[in-house]
Amino acid sequence: MKKKISKYFDFNQHHKINNVSFSDYNGWNSLLVVKFSMEKNNFIDDEKVNEQYPELQRKQKIFVITKGQIKLDFEKEIFTMSEYDSVDFIRGDEKYKIQSSENSTIYMVSAKDLGPEEDKPIFFNFKKNIVSKNLWGGKIISRPYEGKGITLVLFDLKKGFEFEDKGHANEQITWLISGEMNFYANKEHKTLNSDLGVDIGPFHVHGGVSKGAIGFDVFFPKRREVSYKN
């Protein structure tokens, strides 16, 4: 079992599936975040993902496109997906193929300790379908997606936004897709950017000051507060 500590991590340790570069981070409470960097006309599919992450078979997986455009082949249909388009494969055993129409970046989030669920996939766009919420005051817009077992939040921080959170039992992994933020977790300070993220330990005080940033928080178990429901 991993120690329940706050830890910074980077997305620069690349591996390959076919010709697709990817990097990942495994959290202390079984959360997993994977960043796929796909050049045009490359692909990944369920077989390759399951081969790389066998512990995630039949576990919920949420895919989010943050750059470029992809075609998702699922149940004999082709879905064209671009920035902030997302799919939540709730069962985790769906058959799919993701092919990049241009250079693209995709994130996958899951957790090894998720229980089995039975439901159809959910397609959504964080900007178009998730209502924005002011969770921390006027300098941040949050768009929380409540999955079956995971909460995934897209946030947009204005320059100068400052906060401090006294901590919570949920594991929280935070990473940016653009901009920077001076951050601290359990008194360790770093600058978050699109390469460096943070995994926050249980009930660890954390916070920081934004230089202007867009990114994601993922929580497991999911947040139960009304403010995180959408």
Q: Where are the domains of the chain?
A: 7-127, 128-228
DSSP symbol at 83? T
Question: Which ranges of the chain have pLDDT less than 70?
Answer: 1
CATH value of 7-127 in 2.40.33.20, 2.60.120.10, 3.40.309.10, 3.90.1200.10: 2.60.120.10
The confidence score (pLDDT) of residue 1 equals 65
pTM for the whole structure: 0.96
The confidence score (pLDDT) of residue 18 equals 78
Cα→Cα distances 183→55, 66, 100, 210, Å: 31, 22, 33, 8
**213 and 192 Cβ atoms separated by less than 8 Å:** yes
Check if 7-127 and 128-228 are the same fold. yes
CATH hierarchy code of domain 128-228: 2.60.120.10
- Residues 81 and 22: their CA atoms lie apart, in Å, by 19
Cα→Cα distances 74→45, 121, 227, Å: 10, 10, 33
Phi and psi, residue 229, nearest 5° = -90, 145
Token pair of 112 as six digits = 């090894």
